[in-house]
Structure 1
Amino acid sequence: MWPYFIFINLFLFFSAVFLLLTDYAKNIQPANFPPGPRALPFIGNLFTVDFKKLHENCTQLSEKYGDVYSLRMGQTWMVVLNGYQTIKEALVAQGASMADRPIQPILEDVNLNLGVISSNGHRWKQQRQFALSTLKYFGVGKKSLESAILDEFKYLSTYIAEYKGKPFNPHLIINNAVSNIICSLVFGHRFEYSNARFQKVMSMFDQALQIQGSIWAQLYNSFPVIMRRLPGPHQSVQNIWNEVKAFLRTEFKEHRKNWNPSDPKDYIDCYLSEIEKTKDNVSSTFDEENLAICTLDLFVAGSETTSTTLRWGFLYMSKYPEIQEKVQAEIDRVVGRSRQPTMADRTSMPYTEAVIHEVQRMGNIVPLSVPRMTSKDVRLGGYVIPKGVTIITNLTSVMFDKSEWKTPYTFNPGHFLNEKGNFDKRASFIPFSAGKRVCLGENLARMELFLFFTSFMQRFSFSMPPGVKHAMDYNFGVTLSPVSYEICATLRQ
């Protein structure tokens, strides 16, 4: 018996040594690869950082390792970029080398690397150009969309006014209202706030985005073969997005019934026409599966970030009533109470513009942006980043950079005002990222934020319920959202 046990022990010992040596050899990097915290075998730095505040950890690590440093998440090497100058150099000056997206199994299992966010190469270029031109055709940046936003606010305002100043949770209703803008462009119609199925879809977004920014997603991306078979929150991501896609396919089916190729009424109509037009073109990337993922990308990106920014805005206005009053005074002076604010008022409202930008800066909605990947070897900050390495652009390090902002951790609209009180947009303000992968919905988001925020400030004053202290805590995920809260919206007399 003893020789048998000795054999088993020796086998296990040499197997462990072999696996350790294999892991070590597989993860050897060039001598001038960016430094970083020591990585453990197999799991790397998965447990070095706190995934509930990963953006803060990444910023703290830059103080020790510099603006360009590395992390190893399981079997995936990442290089984290910090500071405005470094990120600008990477995304703008060397943007062509960092325009790809890495393959993330937790997303790949859902979107098959299709769409406008996760795709690369020819597919990405074709889909992005189509989305930009189509959204522009249906009103992005035009007066017609401005009217749609103002009309949506009327529905929203009536709904909130019914609370008569009593506490309510703004989460789902704001998501619904903001989503209705992109819905009008993509689906050709809005959804009533009483639509139970749409409300359910809205409620799932937050959950999925939080899981995708958690350690569960990193484990899934590092060990997909194992994690696909293990229970845990990561399993719900596929269920959520599959349910959303089922919702979208119902919309496609309805569109097919009344589809008139010569008279497209929305993004889906145009996409269906493009499928028919290019069906014999081998280089075409237009098909119904890609339509589902592109629509999902537009749907989520066009609603979640803007609605989250507005929810942060309510909190900051209630926390700083003196700032809220100054915004309202400027609106009263420029717009008055007899009409709604318009985009034409924007240049006459520097303080309000400064407040909106400060909400975006402090809210830090997409703290680590969306990952990129090097398409060739890149030299940055004195280091060489090999082809195929995931790039994390830590926008938190820019939004709270002490060298860029006078009081980085204090809500201060003065960050965006010059000595004469005029609005001063800072180059280091990059909430929509930069370069070739800059958010394609930036113009839409800016219009929505200005019109919704000023309309709210014109009609309501926000405050916390009696006896409730301000909690500025966040939920970390792909987006940084405020923890669930209730607030009072009182009609201004």
Structure 2
Amino acid sequence: MELGGGLGLVLSLVIAAYLLLSIWHHQFSGLPPGPAPWPFLGNILGLDVVDLLKSLKELSVKYGPIYTFHLGSRPCVVIAGYQTLKETLIDWAEEFGGHGEFPAVQMWSFGDGIVYGKEQWRQLWRFAISTLKNFDMGKHSLKERIREAQHLCEEFQKTGGAPFEPTFFLSCAGSNIIFSLVFGDHFTYGDPKFLELMTLLSGNWRIMSSFWGQAFVNNRVAQNRKSLDPANPRDYTDCSLIKMEQEKNNPQSHFNAQTLSKTAVNLFFMGTETMSSTLLYGLLILLKHPDLQAQLHKEIDEVIGSSWLPSMKDRVKMPYMDAIIHDSQCFTDIVPVSVPHTVTQPTRFHGYHLPKDLNIIPLLCTAHFDYTQFKDPEEFNPGHFLDKQGRFKKNEVFLAFSASCS
């Protein structure tokens, strides 16, 4: 009994000392203020695990736009509010330009790819963006993207006017566009192979990144490899295979079969989810605001009409459509939190000392609902992206996919 009591007292003293040490280290480490962490657990006990985002936003109200939050024993700095996000992601982009860790995803991606990759992510990202942009700006490629809208409308029409859930159709459209860019093909919505892909995507990142998802992607890469014509690349995969061949003797090259496979998975998830979510929430918003729907329809009739397909040159003539899309992505928080960043070098920021490799968590959603930037951020208002003459205006507050993608 006495022995048990003695051990309990020692254990209590050790925990108390560790907690006091954690608090002291937290307060005097040079990091921004924040809630005191528990030993080993960090700040997890103070969170609403059902609504983590709500908890992080509430902490920014209490501690300010820059505060320290502990994931276990590891400190992270959370950034909130447009001005601070702008400084972090744009003005200080070099100092905060590293990609942080995301263990729940990296355990399946093995640190490869363009989202949660290691040091190679930036090179792979730039290659992916430039390649996809080149294909998407081509006349044939652009027509294919627009034609996908026709396929989507045809699927809607098959419902015969009866009520239906559009999510699956919207996901099919988004996935088909990504598939055509990555692998050069288009599927009918009932194709068994396409349904297999949709099943993988509708599962989660773990399933798509597992053996089954990788087998699907690797099979498509093998098909491209067999029919590859280096002089006439058809899609992103062809361009990657050509790049891999060009750098096969470079031991420092990041272009290999594994990074191609992981990058393809990244593109499917990012493209399908963001496109389908934007379309789905856009439809819901227009259903809730018939006046906005009528004004948008009027612009479509005036610029495009009903006798021909839209083209990219029509976009500059449709400021209201552009504003609707942009404010939809702000209002619905398509991507409320950016992927974790890291500090690339010891940095003094707002009077705090941020060490190299410190994880940074940007709360993008706090920019879109920042009252210092919008008079009515809680209301859907396309006027956020229109000037007094009704022309589309870019708004720096738009950080729907982080600063590098906006």
Do both proteins adopt the same fold according to a TM-score greater than 0.5, normalized to the shorter chain? yes
Mapped to 2, the partners of 1:142 and 1:276 lie a distance apart of 24
**Which AA in structure 1 matches 2:259?**
N
Aligned-residue identity in percent: 34
Mapped to 2, the partners of 1:24 and 1:272 lie a distance apart of 55
- The equivalent residue for 2:68 is 70
Map residues 188-337 of structure 1 onto 2, 5 A cutoff.
188-205=184-201, 207-208=203-204, 237=206, 241-337=210-306
- The equivalent residue for 1:181 is 177
- The equivalent residue for 2:117 is 119
CA contact (8 A) 2:385 2:395 kept: yes
**Which AA in structure 2 matches 1:110?**
W
C-alpha displacement of 1:12: 5.8
CA contact (8 A) 1:44 1:72 kept: yes
C-alpha displacement of 1:311: 0.5
Deviates more, 1:189-198 or 1:333-342: 189-198
User: Secondary structure, in 3 states, of the residue corresponding to 1:91?
Assistant: helix
User: Secondary structure, in 3 states, of the residue corresponding to 1:97?
Assistant: coil
- The equivalent residue for 1:405 is 374
**Which AA in structure 2 matches 1:351?**
Y
Q: 1:92 to 1:334 in 2, by over 3 A?
A: same
Q: 1:388 to 1:12 in 2, by over 3 A?
A: farther
1:261-302 alpha-carbon deviations (Å, 9 max, x no partner) = 343322212222222332221111122111111111122112
**Which AA in structure 1 matches 2:301?**
D
Match of 1:34 among 32, 35, 58: 32
Q: Identify which of structures 1 and 2 has the higher relative contact order when contacts are C-alpha pairs closer than 8 Å and 6+ apart.
A: 1
Mapped to 2, the partners of 1:79 and 1:306 lie a distance apart of 30
- The equivalent residue for 2:128 is 131
CA contact (8 A) 1:204 1:240 kept: no
User: Secondary structure, in 3 states, of the residue corresponding to 1:398?
Assistant: helix
User: Secondary structure, in 3 states, of the residue corresponding to 2:258?
Assistant: helix
- The equivalent residue for 1:464 is none
C-alpha displacement of 1:180: 1.2
Map residues 92-171 of structure 1 onto 2, 5 A cutoff.
92-121=90-119, 123-137=120-134, 139-171=135-167
CA contact (8 A) 2:116 2:339 kept: no
**Which AA in structure 2 matches 1:324?**
Q
Consecutive unaligned residues in structure 2, runs of 5 or more: none
C-alpha displacement of 1:175: 1.1
CA contact (8 A) 1:80 1:394 kept: yes
CA contact (8 A) 1:368 1:396 kept: yes
**Which AA in structure 2 matches 1:278?**
E
CA contact (8 A) 1:271 1:291 kept: yes
C-alpha displacement of 1:130: 2.3
**Which AA in structure 2 matches 1:149?**
R
CA contact (8 A) 1:90 1:380 kept: no
1:244-272 alpha-carbon deviations (Å, 9 max, x no partner) = 21211121222233233343322212222
Q: 1:259 to 1:346 in 2, by over 3 A?
A: closer
Q: 1:77 to 1:281 in 2, by over 3 A?
A: same
C-alpha displacement of 1:81: 0.7
Q: 1:380 to 1:203 in 2, by over 3 A?
A: farther
Mapped to 2, the partners of 1:385 and 1:15 lie a distance apart of 33
Deviates more, 1:49-58 or 1:371-380: 49-58
CA contact (8 A) 2:337 2:365 kept: yes
1:22-70 alpha-carbon deviations (Å, 9 max, x no partner) = 5765782444321112322221221322243333332222221111112
Deviates more, 1:192-201 or 1:355-364: 192-201
Q: 1:197 to 1:83 in 2, by over 3 A?
A: same
- The equivalent residue for 2:45 is 47
User: Secondary structure, in 3 states, of the residue corresponding to 2:75?
Assistant: strand
- The equivalent residue for 1:172 is 168
CA contact (8 A) 1:115 1:291 kept: yes
Mapped to 2, the partners of 1:129 and 1:250 lie a distance apart of 25
Q: 1:171 to 1:380 in 2, by over 3 A?
A: same
Q: 1:178 to 1:326 in 2, by over 3 A?
A: same
User: Secondary structure, in 3 states, of the residue corresponding to 1:426?
Assistant: coil
**Which AA in structure 2 matches 1:329?**
K
Q: 1:422 to 1:270 in 2, by over 3 A?
A: closer
CA contact (8 A) 2:240 2:255 kept: yes
Mapped to 2, the partners of 1:52 and 1:342 lie a distance apart of 43
- The equivalent residue for 1:422 is 391
Q: 1:22 to 1:280 in 2, by over 3 A?
A: farther
User: Secondary structure, in 3 states, of the residue corresponding to 1:247?
Assistant: helix
Mapped to 2, the partners of 1:241 and 1:118 lie a distance apart of 16
Mapped to 2, the partners of 1:35 and 1:141 lie a distance apart of 47
Deviates more, 1:338-347 or 1:140-149: 140-149
Q: Is 1:357 aligned with 2:339?
A: no
Q: TM-score, normalised by structure 1?
A: 0.76
1:104-145 alpha-carbon deviations (Å, 9 max, x no partner) = 322222112111122243x223322322332233x2334333
Mapped to 1, the partners of 2:11 and 2:192 lie a distance apart of 55
Q: 1:206 to 1:52 in 2, by over 3 A?
A: farther
User: Secondary structure, in 3 states, of the residue corresponding to 1:185?
Assistant: helix
- The equivalent residue for 1:477 is none
**Which AA in structure 1 matches 2:253?**
S
Q: TM-score, normalised by structure 2?
A: 0.91
- The equivalent residue for 1:90 is 88
